[in-house]
Each structure stands twice: as C-alpha cells, then as structure tokens.
Copies of this chain bind each other. A is one copy, B any other.
Amino acid sequence: MAVIFERTKGLLDVPTHYCPGCTHGVIHRLVAESLEELGVLDRATGVAPVGCSVLAYDYFSCDMHEAAHGRAPAVATGIKRAIPDSIVFTYQGDGDLAAIGTAEIVHAAARGERITTIFVNNCIYGMTGGQMAPTTLPGQVTETSPYGRDVNTAGHPIRVAEMISTLDGAVYVERVSVDSVPNILKAKKAIKKAFEIQMQGLGFTLIEVLSTCPTNWGLAPVEALKWLRENMIPYYPLGVKKDATTGEVK
C-alpha cells in the first residue's frame, strides 16, 4: 500500500496548543510541506509573530525566530540581509500584521524584500481573547466591539492583499482560504508558488490566508468554516491580487 498522505518533515512531531478545529494547524502544514517539497528546509528560517501562532517556533523543524508583536517583517529582513541565500518567511496574524505591524509589512513589501509572508486573517485577535482586529468585519461582535464593529467609530476593515498589491516591491500577492479541501489545495499551491518566487529572488511575496478562530467567534469548528465562507470570503475576495512575474494586477 502506498502512503497517500503523511505528516511533513517540515513540522516537528509534537502536539500543538491550538484550539480544536483552529485552522492555524492546517496553514502550518501547508507552509511546512512547501518548504519540504522545495527542498529548502535546510536553509529556511521562519519568523513567528506574537499571536496564537507565537509558539510556531516549537512546531516548524527549520530554524526559527520569535519576533516582537508586528515586527516579523523587520526581523525577517534582518535575517535575509544577513544570510541572503536563506529562505525566510514570516507567519503573522491580522492583529500582528495589519495593526501594530502595518509599517513593517508595507515597507518590507515596498523594498521588495525577498521574503514570504503568510498572513493569517481570522478577523480577530485570537491570542488575547477575541478583540477587534483591523480585519474584523462590519457589525462583528468582539470583546472590544461589543455592539458589533461600528464602521463609523471603529473604521473599516483593511483588505491587506489589495493594499500591499499597490506597492512595486510586492511581486506576488494572493488571497486564499482553508475553509474546504479544494481551497486548502489552492492555498498550498499559492504558498508554494510564493516560496518559488522567493527562491528566484524576484521580490516580496504575501499570501493572505482566511482562517478560523472557533474559540473567539464562539462557534463550533465546522460552523466556523461556514462562517468564514459566508462572511469573510464575500468581504475578502479570494484570488491572485498581483503577479508581477506575469504582469498581472487585479
């Protein structure tokens, strides 16, 4: 019998601390598999954020940094500049990347930093117990938008992939989702492609991954997938936002 699916060597064989059904775990796998398949685990360094995935450094089998909240792109820049042939990625949540780390992600992209950012958008601050994120949907109830996000006072959600696409240094930007198996397959393809572009030294790549937070959304894991599908995807349309390797900008 042939093995059709088994655990990637890109992840250490340890249990994770994620809540049941949290899709952080799926995204970890996609990143790790990509690195393994591209044969670069040996020269890869990942940067974990501050957020639920803070302990990612305990899960990925390649070298890892734990960065200050929001600063992963700057840390990754330091790593890449110090060791230019390394393959460097940041793994960041929406609080980390789209709130406190806005300047760092914009400038890493503008500089065309040869790194890959995996941006996990779950519309909430998971780690700290469910506060509003810059990506929280209008009307969404969170700890700090208890009456639903009021765009009048709390502002409008940021579409990160679209914003980053306006920057010349960003060469590949795609938004994917892990709400279903077909979408997971597409997400994998996008992540792998981003790393390939990094290996070619073409510039900055970012994959925004729509992800669930069953715990702070107050939904069962399967319900959370549905909520993502029905609420997030309409606001955050999937697809390639920019592909400078082909000249495509959407």
Which chain A residues have a beta carbon within 8 Å of chain B's beta carbons? Answer: 99-103, 106-107, 110-113, 134, 151-152, 154-159, 162-163, 166-169
Q: 19 new A-B pairs (CB below 8 Å) besides A99-B107, A163-B163?
A: A99-B103, A102-B102, A102-B103, A103-B103, A106-B106, A110-B155, A110-B157, A111-B155, A112-B151, A112-B152, A113-B155, A151-B169, A155-B169, A156-B167, A156-B168, A157-B168, A158-B167, A163-B166, A163-B167
Q: How far is the CA of A134 from the CA of B106 in the complex (A)?
A: 11
Interface contact A111-B169, CB-CB below 8 Å: no
Interface contact A134-B156, CB-CB below 8 Å: no
> Separation in Å of the A214 CB from the closest CB of chain B?
26
Residues of B within 8 A of A166 (CB): 159, 162-163, 166
Q: Can you tell how many copies of this chain the complex includes?
A: 2
Q: How far is the CA of A99 from the CA of B74 in the complex (A)?
A: 13
Q: How far is the CA of A152 from the CA of B201 in the complex (A)?
A: 10
Residues of B within 8 A of A163 (CB): 106, 163, 166-167
Residues of B within 8 A of A156 (CB): 110-112, 167-169
Interface contact B110-A106, CB-CB below 8 Å: no
Residues of B within 8 A of A162 (CB): 166
Q: How far is the CA of A163 from the CA of B162 in the complex (A)?
A: 9
Q: How far is the CA of A163 from the CA of B169 in the complex (A)?
A: 13
Residues of B within 8 A of A111 (CB): 154-156
Interface contact B112-A158, CB-CB below 8 Å: no
Residues of B within 8 A of A102 (CB): 102-103, 106-107
> Separation in Å of the A152 CB from the closest CB of chain B?
8
- Chain B CB within 10 Å, residue with most, of A110, A151, A157, A159: A110
> Separation in Å of the A3 CB from the closest CB of chain B?
43
